[in-house]
Amino acid sequence: MKAGVYVSETKAVMQQKTKPVIKEGEALVKVSHAGICGTDMMIYFGKHPRA
């Protein structure tokens, strides 16, 4: 499965990962779409004044 992975404070990549084996009481959720808002980008790049 594909997974978004934070490699460092300024780098995130998509990686192929082994599908996890879920345990009793857990759920595996399939994500069809994902996004990031402008504020998240500012925080990610260290430009947000309060984060």
What does each of the 51 residues of the chain score in pLDDT, given as a tens digit?
Answer: 999 898 887 788 999 999 999 999 999 998 898 888 999 889 888 899 988
The answer to the question of residue 41 being in a domain is yes
* Count of structural domains within the chain: 1
* Cα gap 3→19, rounded to integer Å: 10
pLDDT reported for residue 40: 87
pLDDT reported for residue 35: 86
The answer to the question of residue 24 being in a domain is no
The answer to the question of residue 1 being in a domain is yes
* Cα gap 44→17, rounded to integer Å: 23
pLDDT reported for residue 51: 80
The answer to the question of residue 36 being in a domain is yes
pLDDT reported for residue 45: 84
Question: Residue 51's domain spans which residues?
Answer: 1-16+29-51
The answer to the question of residue 23 being in a domain is no
The answer to the question of residue 22 being in a domain is no
pLDDT reported for residue 11: 85
